[in-house]
Amino acid sequence: MTAPAAPIPRNDLIVCPHCDAAYTLARPGHGERAVCYRCHTVLIMPRRKAGLQIIALSVAIVILITAAAIFPFLSIAVAGAHNSVSILDAALAFSDGPLVVLSLATAALIIFVPLARVLLSLYVLVPIVMDRPPAPQAAQAFRLAEALRPWSMAEIFAIGCAVALVKVSDLADVSFGPAFWMFAILVVLVVVQDNFLCRWSVWNALSKPAKS
Amino acid sequence: MERAEQTREVISARDLGVVACTRCLQVWPQGVQTCARCGHKLVQRDLKSLQRVWALWIIGFMCYIPANIYPMLRTRTLFHVQEDTIVGGAIELMHHGSIGVAAIILIASVVIPLAKFMAIAFLAISVTRPSTVSQNQRQLLYEVVEYIGRWSMIDIFVVAILSSLVQLKVLVAINPGLASLFFALSVIFTMLSAQAFDSRMIWDAQQQGKGQKQE
Ligand SMILES: [Zn+2]
Ligand SMILES: [Zn+2]
């Protein structure tokens, strides 16, 4: 990672990524937030014990995603005929011809991307929280986790479920499987975990060993 | 609570002679090519970004047209097969009395995508010429576009759930139509288009107006 004639980073400054406003860096205390004066983007928002909370949430999310993907999610019954599906079945519904691509994309957006993001953030955060040097390639891992952020669509899938249920309700009786409730909890956890994370603090922790 | 800003006049990183990594916020002296912390490429202003924005915008828009022409859902009951386009399906729902759900579908699949096309086009045009809309409003617009674009995927997920769930042999079966593929592509390409936009350019125009800078 060492470039020839390594340039010296300006650690006394912070620049807003959205509007390029430059400020001298003044670290906010726990529970406080540093906000861009010009465009109001939140730049830093450290939280006490945020690391541990995020790790706990992440572990819960991994377990829930795995379980929610396998267990029956919804089942339907009309005049004796019935059918029950898991989330994975739903994702793989686009099975004919060119729609297979869509199946893979859907499975990725609702299961694999959220899962990958959580695993990556665990990989990055666990050493930091334990005061160990960052894991190898931690910067790349965190970078990937951040790049995947807009493509994690579990919460959108949840709203999609609600809409689908209304559409089906006059056609047949629908009942919820265990995975439905797991998924509902999962969505809340994913959103909370995302909002707990102070990205600046993580990057700052990751850059420490470069100096010593 | 707020950051203590040293002057009323905000100085941009470019004027300070530094360049910031847009991914990890590390600040480097001007001229550094890649961020040593996260490996992201450092650019003062992404001048090529507008070309990428427009290219992705056009692909997204071209996918949106067949998404509205082809059927989204094919419902097969005992006696007949019904094919619904996005708008047709929403109207059908409205006739059944589910106005709320019809509204969600219409907003997620028609209003949001169209508004998003217009918003991105407006932003991309606004940074090339003087704009009457304030920077703060355009920044807000950009953030709304980035946040809300993903929600258009609702309809795709609804189709996925319906067509896996409603498979009751001879009684009734719902299958996805070709429009679902085009619609998903359209959402993905507009998301990429919005991501390609370098929002820092919104704030440059102001300074150009004042100081008449090169570039
Ligand atoms: Zn800003
Ligand atoms: Zn960086």
Q: Which of B5, B24, B6, B45 is nearest to A9 (CA)?
A: B24
C-alpha distances out from residue A119 to A113, A116, A139, A163, B187, Å? 10, 5, 14, 30, 26
Read off the pLDDT of residues A153-211 as tens digits, 9 standing for 90 and up: 888 888 888 888 877 877 778 888 888 888 888 888 888 888 888 888 888 888 765 44
Cβ contact A103:A95 at 8 Å: yes
Cβ contact A38:A19 at 8 Å: yes
Domain ranges of chain B: 1-44, 46-202
Distance from CA of B57 to the nearest CA of A (A): 17
Q: Is A81 helix (H, G, I), strand (E, B) or coil?
A: strand
Residue B82 phi/psi, 5° resolution? -120, 135
From the list A10, A93, A98, the residue facing B160 with the nearest CB is A93
* Interface predicted TM-score (ipTM) of this complex, two decimals: 0.83
Set of chain B residues whose Cβ sits within 8 Å of the Cβ of A38: 10, 135, 203
Read off the pLDDT of residues B132-154 as tens digits, 9 standing for 90 and up: 888 888 999 999 998 888 888 88
Q: Which residue does chain A place closest to B90, by CA atoms?
A: A167
B131 — pLDDT class (breaks 50, 70, 90) = confident
Rounded average pLDDT over A117-137? 88
Is the model's pLDDT at A116 over the cut of 90? yes
A26 — pLDDT class (breaks 50, 70, 90) = confident
> Which amino acid does the sequence have at A134?
P
CA angle A44, A47, A50 (to 5 degrees): 120
Distance from CA of A197 to the nearest CA of B (A): 13
Q: Which of B183, B167, B182, B16 is nearest to A75 (CA)?
A: B167
In A18-71, DSSP assigns E strands to 21-24, 34-35, 42-44
Set of chain B residues whose Cβ sits within 8 Å of the Cβ of A36: 3
Lowest-confidence segment of A50-54, B72-76, B115-119, B205-209 by average pLDDT: B205-209
Provide the pLDDT for residue A211.
Answer: 42
From the list A18, A82, A164, the residue facing B199 with the nearest CB is A18
Q: Sign of torsion, CA A143 A144 A150 A156?
A: negative
CATH topology of domain B46-202: Butyryl-CoA Dehydrogenase, subunit A; domain 3 (1.20.140)
Distance from CA of A50 to the nearest CA of B (A): 19
Is the model's pLDDT at B109 over the cut of 90? no
Cβ contact B78:A178 at 8 Å: no
Count CB-CB contacts under 10 A for residue B109: 29
Q: What is the pTM of this model?
A: 0.85
Provide the pLDDT for residue B34.
Answer: 87
Residue B211 burial class via C-beta count within 10 angstroms: exposed 0-12, middle 13-18, buried 19 and up: exposed
Provide the pLDDT for residue B49.
Answer: 87
Q: What would be the CATH architecture of the domain defined by A1-46?
A: Single Sheet (2.20)
Q: Which of B199, B197, B202, B190 is nearest to B64 (CA)?
A: B190
